[in-house]
Amino acid sequence: MAKPVCVVAGVGPGNGLAISQRFAQADYQIAMLARQESTLEPLQAQVANSMALPCDLTESRDIAATFARVKAELGPPDVLIYNAGSGLFGAPLDTRPEDFTTAWRVNALGLLLSAQQVAPDMISRGGGSIIVTGATASLRGGANFTAFASAKAAQRNLAQSLSRSLGPQGVHVALVIVDGIIDTPRTRELFGDKPDATYLKPAAIADSVFQISAQDRSAWTFELDLRPSGEAW
């Protein structure tokens, strides 16, 4: 029997890599998507049974072509992890319309387009999971998170529509609210003086994402938060 297929859309050296590794460990074939081939290849080399697929997740045609290739080479995806994000910060009066637009395209439009690629096959086979990586900004528009928070809220309500529409058709949609700083070389450089207990480890995030994807359909989670023990909230 063919191994199950997991697409991780939006792979970087933090969550995306760790999630890819976690599903690989559970014997999935992994399709790793990111914009830049140069970022993607060293990461793909660290994941068993994986392929790297450069893809601009804001472009409808690029998405369609990429998912067609996944289906042709690996088979229809059993799991889609939508992990594409973007870090555009700033106050409303300093936010350029083009950055506001890009944040929305990456976080919300890209999720719709990707879900439209995988959901029909999931429905016809009677199962599948779409798990989206959110952030505290999904729930709250901070003064200096204009583009990011608006895009993440658009993504959250879209994930709800997906869940309510696809759940009764057997497809599990979930949103993981990551609240805190993810432990990567880059964030350690930026926030290096913070105590260890305030960082989220990518492997721990990945483990919860995997557990959610494996839930029995009689008790599915739509939304859960993940937060390090030392984070004030």
Among 39, 101, 102, 187, binds its own copies (CB under 8 A): 101
Among 39, 54, 112, 121, binds its own copies (CB under 8 A): 112
Residues 6+ away with beta carbon under 8 Å from 40: 11, 32, 33, 34, 52, 53, 54
Among 83, 114, 155, 184, binds its own copies (CB under 8 A): 155
Give the shortest CB-150-to-its own copies separation in angstroms.
4
Tell which positions 166-185 bind its own copies, by CB under 8 A: 166-168, 170, 172, 183
9 contacts its own copies (rule: CB under 8 A): no
Give the shortest CB-216-to-its own copies separation in angstroms.
4
Tell which positions 25-64 bind its own copies, by CB under 8 A: 60
Among 141, 186, 190, 191, binds its own copies (CB under 8 A): 141
Number of residues that bind its own copies (CB under 8 A): 76
Residue that has been written with the tokens 């994000």 in this structure: 85
121 contacts its own copies (rule: CB under 8 A): no
1 contacts its own copies (rule: CB under 8 A): no
In the numeric block, which tokens belong to residue 128?
Answer: 């599948």
Give the shortest CB-160-to-its own copies separation in angstroms.
3
Give the shortest CB-125-to-its own copies separation in angstroms.
15
Cα–Cα distance for residue pair 184/200, rounded to 1 Å: 9
In the numeric block, which tokens belong to residue 22?
Answer: 């976690």
124 contacts its own copies (rule: CB under 8 A): no
161 contacts its own copies (rule: CB under 8 A): yes
The total of other beta-carbon atoms located within 10 Å of residue 197's CB is 10
Is the Cβ of residue 73 or residue 94 nearer to its own copies in the bound state? 94
Cα–Cα distance for residue pair 216/190, rounded to 1 Å: 40
Among 36, 46, 124, 215, binds its own copies (CB under 8 A): 215
- In 3D space, the residue among 219, 213, 203 whose CA is nearest the CA of residue 4 turns out to be 213
65 half-sphere exposure, CB direction, 13 A CA radius: 10
Cα–Cα distance for residue pair 35/228, rounded to 1 Å: 29
Amino acid sitting at position 206: A
In angstroms, the Cα distances linking 175 to 51, 157, 212 are 25, 10, 10
Cα–Cα distance for residue pair 14/183, rounded to 1 Å: 7
Is the Cβ of residue 26 or residue 112 nearer to its own copies in the bound state? 112
154 contacts its own copies (rule: CB under 8 A): yes
Is the Cβ of residue 33 or residue 130 nearer to its own copies in the bound state? 130
Cα–Cα distance for residue pair 66/47, rounded to 1 Å: 19
